[in-house]
Amino acid sequence: ALTAALTGASLAAVTQAADRLERWLSGRFPDGVRIERIVASVEELRG
């Protein structure tokens, strides 16, 4: 299992980074990968 956290200045930037990561993982593991995206703001994480 691999867990990754991406951060960025905007949702668009994080989405683009996640898309690139997903493409990289798919290329690295051609048998398939499972991706789950959870988006949270700093305020949500601080609770």
Q: What is the pLDDT of residues 1-47, one digit of tens each?
A: 889 999 999 999 999 999 999 999 999 999 999 999 999 998 999 98
Q: Give the pair of three-digit tokens for residue 44.
A: 């949500």
- What pLDDT sits at residue 1? 83
Rg over alpha carbons for the chain, rounded to the nearest Å, is 12
- What pLDDT sits at residue 15? 95
Residue 46 lies in a domain: no
| Helix boundaries (H) for the chain | 11-28, 42-46
Q: In terms of residue numbers, what domain contains 28? A: 1-41
**What is the number of domains present in the chain?**
1
pTM above 0.85, yes or no: no
- What pLDDT sits at residue 2? 86
Residue 47 lies in a domain: no
